[in-house]
Amino acid sequence: AGRGAAAGGGQSPDAFGRYRSPLVSRYASPEMGFNFSERRKFGTWRRLWLYLAQAEKSLGLPITDEQIQEMEANLDNIDFKMAAEEEKRLRHDVMAHVHTFAHCCPKAAAIIHLGATSCYVGDNTDLIVLRDGFNLLLPKLATVISRLADFAEQYADLPTLGFTHYQPAQLTTVGKRCCLWIQDLCMDLQNLERARNDLRFRGVKGTTGTQASFLQLFEGDHDKVEELDRLVTVKAGFKRAYLVTGQTYSRKVDVEVLSVLASLGASIHKICTDIRLLANLKEIEEPFETDQIGSSAMPYKRNPMRSERCCSLARHLMTLVLNPLHTASVQWFERTLDDSANRRVCLAEAFLTADIILSTLQNISEGLVVYPKVIERRIQQELPFMATENIIMAMVKAGGNRQDCHEKIRILSQQAAAVVKQEGGNNDLIARIRSTSFTGRASQQVARFLKEEARPMLTPYQSKMGVKMELAL
339 backbone φψ class: left, alpha, beta (φ>0; ψ -120 to 50): alpha
Active site residue 295: yes
Query: CB-side exposure of 50: number of CA atoms within 13 Å?
Result: 21
Residue 167 parent element (H or E):
strand 167-173
Spatial separation of the C-alpha atoms in residues 471 and 361, rounded to whole Å: 10
- Are residues 171 and 160 in contact, defined by beta-carbon separation less than 8 angstroms? yes
Residue 219 neighbours by CB under 8 Å, 6+ apart: none
**Which stretch of DSSP H or E encloses residue 279?**
helix 252-280
Helices (H) and strands (E) in the chain, counts: 19, 4
| Residues 249, 235: Cα–Cα separation, whole Å | 18
Ramachandran category for residue 246: left, alpha or beta (phi over 0 → left; psi -120 to 50 → alpha): beta
Residues 452, 444: Cα–Cα separation, whole Å: 12
Q: Active site residue: 295, 312, 329, 435, which one?
A: 295
The Cβ of residue 235 has, within 10 Å, a number of other Cβ atoms equal to 16
- Kindly give the interhelix angle for 322-329 and 305-320, rounded to the nearest 10 degrees: 10
Q: Is 165 a catalytic residue?
A: yes
Residues that are catalytic = 165, 295
